[in-house]
Structure 1
Amino acid sequence: MYVSGLPPFDPATGQVADAPLERQTELVLDQLKLCLETAGSSLDHVLKCNVYCTSVEKFAAVNAIHARYFPKDPPARIFVCVPAWPGRFDIEIDCIAALRTAFNA
């Protein structure tokens, strides 16, 4: 399954979170987890993530958070630095994941 790029929406307000990049990354990965589980997959079944970030200097911080969400066998990933977004956020992540049923077939 494909999960389109997710910006850091605050689940309490539905608005883009005005927060440090580290918190934005957590919000995006929490949303990604929810999307995957709702569709019958999970973070454990992610094959590839594309991370788009406005600051290459935040690579290590994003890596550390990514490792918390993908502690075992992390998926393939690219990290792309983008100049800016039309909204006030610094990160967006999309992914490709297998459905759980694909592993049970």
Structure 2
Amino acid sequence: MADTHAVETDDAPSNDNPYSQGVRAGDTLYVSGYGPVDPDTGEPVDGDVEAQTDQVLDNIAAVVADAGGDGLADVVKITVYLTDLEDYERVNEAYGARFGAEPPARVCVEVSRLPDDVRVELDATAYLG
């Protein structure tokens, strides 16, 4: 692949699975899906779905920053995966607090289960041009 490279940072969780934390292709960064895992402990954070959402967004911001971006300010699209759509409004509250007047495009879907039985996972696309 021309003009692509993996992005890896100690400021976001990593594991032994065969995927990159992010892949930069030109000015576009594709950030892998993240659950609410603390990068220092490798364990999901305690707390409600809002606290979990905050940790996920911290993880995404760390990957974007490591790729040369400005954290969440460069995110243009996010996909939200919830194990229970009853959490939708609470996730929106935490999510909305982290983005300004022009939040990124977004998709939200309910899924049957997420790794480590967490309640929320997000992936992102960022523009670093």
**TM bracket, shorter-chain basis:** 0.7 to 0.9
- Structure 2 unpaired stretches of 5+: 1-28
Q: Which residue of 1 aligns with 2:112?
A: 83
**Given residue 2 of structure 1, which amino acid in structure 2 is its aligned partner?**
Y
Structure-2-length-normalised TM-score: 0.72
The gaps in structure 1 that reach 5 residues or longer are: none
* Fraction of identical pairs, as percent: 39
Q: Which residue of 2 aligns with 1:23?
A: 51
| Paired residue type of 1:77 | R
Amino acid at match of 1:72: A
Q: 5 Å matches for 1:2-41?
A: 2-41=30-69
Secondary structure of 2:117's aligned partner: coil
Partner secondary structure for residue 87 of structure 1: helix
Instruction: Note closer, same or farther for the CA distance 1:69–1:44 as it changes in structure 2 (3 Å cut).
Output: same
Equivalenced residues, count? 100
Determine which structure has greater relative contact order: mean sequence separation of CA pairs < 8 Å that are 6+ residues apart, divided by chain length.
1
Q: Which residue of 1 aligns with 2:88?
A: 59
The offset of 1:14, in angstroms, is 1.7
Residue in 2 that maps onto 1:47: 76
